[in-house]
Amino acid sequence: MGDMKDNKKQSEDILNLSALEGDILTVLLARERYGLDILNRLNPSRPTPLSFGSLYPALNRLEKKGLIQWRWGDEQEETGGARRKYYKVTGLGANVLNEWQTYRAQLAMQAQGSTALGGI
Q: pLDDT of 18-36, one tens digit each?
A: 999 999 999 999 999 999 9
pTM, to two decimals: 0.80
φ, ψ of residue 72 to 5 degrees: the values are -80, 135
Quote the radius of gyration of the chain (alpha carbons, Å). Answer: 17
3 state SS of 50: coil
Domain span at residue 100?
2-116
CA distance 111 to 53: 33
86 - beta bridge partners? 34, 71
Where does residue 100 fall: left (phi above 0), alpha (psi -120 to 50 degrees), or beta otherwise?
alpha
For 89, what's the count of Cα atoms within 13 Å in the CB-facing half-sphere? 20
Q: pLDDT of 26-82, one tens digit each?
A: 999 999 999 999 999 999 999 999 999 999 999 999 999 999 999 999 876 665 678
Q: What is the CATH number of the domain that holds 94?
A: 1.10.10.10
One-letter identity of residue 5: K
Total domains, the chain: 1
DSSP state of 119: -
